[in-house]
Amino acid sequence: ARQRDKERLAALGPEGAHGDTTFEYQDLCRQHMAAKSLFSRAEGPPEPSRVSSVSSQFSDAAQASPSSHSSTPSWCEEPAQANMDISTGHMILAYMEDHLRNRDRLAKEWQALCAYQAEPNTCATAQGEGNIKKNRHPDFLPYDHARIKLKVESSPSRSDYINASPIIEHDPRMPAYIATQGPLSHTIADFWQMVWESGCTVIVMLTPLVEDGVKQCDRYWPDEGSSLYHVYEVNLVSEHIWCEDFLVRSFYLKNVQTQETRTLTQFHFLSWPAEGTPASTRPLLDFRRKVNKCYRGRSCPIIVHCSDGAGRTGTYILIDMVLNRMAKGVKEIDIAATLEHVRDQRPGLVRSKDQFEFALTAVAEEVNAILKALPQ
């Protein structure tokens, strides 16, 4: 099988070695190497794949053999963080389980959510001449009052429009997320401009590029080496398959006009069908823990996208926002009110009752894992 040796970080420029995201990525890679070594001893040598192991510059351990596309998600599973008191955990768990057991209540709550109308809710800019072609789906557009605005002078199309919405949790000056569609071939430069201008260090991608023969997202990064998108040079530093459900890529991003450089990490979840939910909450919860471990301590938004920037994107944001609130000590969680809060900022977030139920189940599973991790 063909192996690809990614460009080493040192060859990309001296600035790259100092990016905070790179250090977090190194830590993830060390975990992966250690866990893979244990797995290899137990199961025998893995079959080599097209994805090469991370170079020794990303690990202070001996370099391992090329990674394999394993179906063993427990390789490097992040432990649940024990960051809530027992009484709060049991109260929240009881609330979630009651919703899941009471099917009539769940159905009525979803009906009420479907009837909810955000105010204001105009999307005139997204439907304007010149912007319509920048939307992947005509039904999922950013509100006029809540959209990311690009700097016109830096835009290749001399437009401030991109189909993306800032999602605020509590501080309007500091969005927690940017919810956006999967880039189209002619909006990739706009996407990287948004990444640059938002200071993003973490991208969460929740869709394969193609599903059942239908394109869900255009590839917005180089398959190997580097590619230039307008004034943004994107270098693929490394790519790692962690398990059959997700992989992690590290990028080195350079603004060729200013010569500034940054590093960022893309977490790509592969097993979430467009119109449905993952088969299990466990891989997504482990995926989320790894995202948050990489992101921890930063003040920039996390860019989250699927294909339409609505169903899977909204479900992930809902799960993450609720669990983050719990971690901060919030004792009463109203998941329906939280969904209304995010829908005030972008239409269509969480597209189906199944996705809403999956979010409830994921929160309940994570709370249960946290309770098990607490000292009894």
Catalytic residues: 306
Contact 245/254 with Cβ under 8 angstroms?
A: no
**How far is it, in rounded angstroms, from Cα 315 to Cα 275?**
12
β-strand pairing of 177-180 with 232-241: unpaired
Q: What angle do CA 212, 213, 218 make, to 5 degrees?
A: 110
Q: What are phi and psi of 278, to 5 degrees?
A: -60, 155
- The full DSSP string for 255-273 is ETTT--EEEEEEEEE----
The sheet carrying 226-229 orders its strands as 164-167, 177-180, 302-305, 202-205, 261-269, 246-255, 232-241, 226-229
Nearest to 347 by CA among 176, 81, 217, 163: 163
**How far is it, in rounded angstroms, from Cα 235 to Cα 221?**
8
**How far is it, in rounded angstroms, from Cα 279 to Cα 271?**
8
Contact 254/232 with Cβ under 8 angstroms?
A: yes
Contact 198/303 with Cβ under 8 angstroms?
A: yes
Contact 302/202 with Cβ under 8 angstroms?
A: yes
**How far is it, in rounded angstroms, from Cα 347 to Cα 330?**
26
Contact partners, residue 160, CB within 8 Å, separation at least 6: 149, 150, 151, 152
Tokens of 246: 């997700």
β-strand pairing of 202-205 with 261-269: parallel
- What count of other Cβ atoms lies within 10 Å of the Cβ of residue 136? 19
- Specify the 3-state DSSP secondary structure of 236: strand
